[in-house]
Amino acid sequence: MASIASSSPCDECGFDIPASSDRCPHCGRPSLFPNVTAAKRPMEQAALEQRYQTALQNVDPACLPILDKFEKSVADQSEAVITRYVSEVYTLAANDCALYGNFYQLVGAGVRLPAENFWDAMRGVVDEKLFTHYKENIRFAALTMNRRGIGHYGDCHVTLKNGMIAHRATAFEENSIVFMDRRKEFLTAELPAGYRAIWQDRGKLAVAKLASKLSQTMTEADFPSLLMNDGAEPEDDQFVEVHIYGSISIRTVEEISLSSGSKTIRLKALKEKLDKFGIRLKRH
């Protein structure tokens, strides 16, 4: 049977805090992030380190310099990007009180229906396995090195400020639904360790995942598409998934960019809204 993430004692009152809780249920002290707690478990960190070391050992020695650059670039420069359609982003930018709603909040509030497709059908079980008892608090993003996200999710790419998420974001190997589907994970089996990382270890995760794809002839210009690329179908998209605990507002945003082919009639209005918040609007 899978072991269940265990509780840990509160630094202040000493009583146990459940692994899924974002505050001590006894003394109420806040600022815990269950996804970060999960990625910090010693078995997770040891398994990630093992994958990382194996990746380094297996790489062609001639590729070590470019691998080193890749790891540093991801660790120092990569950001989280959420891709949506302009209309959704406009709503976020138009109102200082607006928050970015995730799937569970929107469905729960009765403002959207789950789509009748594989993704929305699988979302609940996969998320519950990854974020046991706290999936409603997670927002999904992708790791980017050029502030562009995955085109299947929309034409408007919202890059988040690292300083607003680094303490509450974790990185995961790939699209978590694809990950579970590919591995035919049993619902009741323990999630394999070593595929999620705290924000500060995202470079290590990227190396563990992608070291074998590096070649001697690559340059830094190749890094963005190595880290993320659009597939023909959503299941073929390649990216490192980012999980962010808690809410996101327009104040969390660093920059917004539009896909090159995006045709929006609200461009001028969106730009005016974003100017008020000092957020740049770019085109890819």
Q: How far is the CB of 25 from Zn ion (least distance, A)?
A: 8
Torsions phi, psi of 157, nearest 5? -105, 120
Helical (H) or strand (E) element with 239: none
Q: How far is the CB of 244 from Zn ion (least distance, A)?
A: 24
Torsions phi, psi of 215, nearest 5? -130, 160
CB 238 within 8 Å of CB 154: no
- Of 27 and 98, the one with the shorter C-beta distance to Zn ion is 27
- What would the DSSP string read from start to end of 5-47? PPPEE-TTT-SEE-TT-SS-TTT------HHHHHHTSHHHHHH
Q: How far is the CB of 39 from Zn ion (least distance, A)?
A: 22
- Of 10 and 38, the one with the shorter C-beta distance to Zn ion is 10
Q: How far is the CB of 13 from Zn ion (least distance, A)?
A: 3
Torsions phi, psi of 281, nearest 5? -115, 120
- Of 32 and 180, the one with the shorter C-beta distance to Zn ion is 32
CB 188 within 8 Å of CB 127: no
- Of 15 and 277, the one with the shorter C-beta distance to Zn ion is 15
Binding site for Zn ion (CB under 5 A): 10, 12-13, 24, 26-27
- Backbone angle region of 215, left / alpha / beta, with phi > 0 → left and psi within -120 to 50 → alpha: beta
- Of 27 and 43, the one with the shorter C-beta distance to Zn ion is 27
- Of 27 and 106, the one with the shorter C-beta distance to Zn ion is 27
Token digits of residue 78: 């990569």
SS3 243: strand
SS3 76: helix
Q: How far is the CB of 9 from Zn ion (least distance, A)?
A: 8
Q: How far is the CB of 36 from Zn ion (least distance, A)?
A: 18
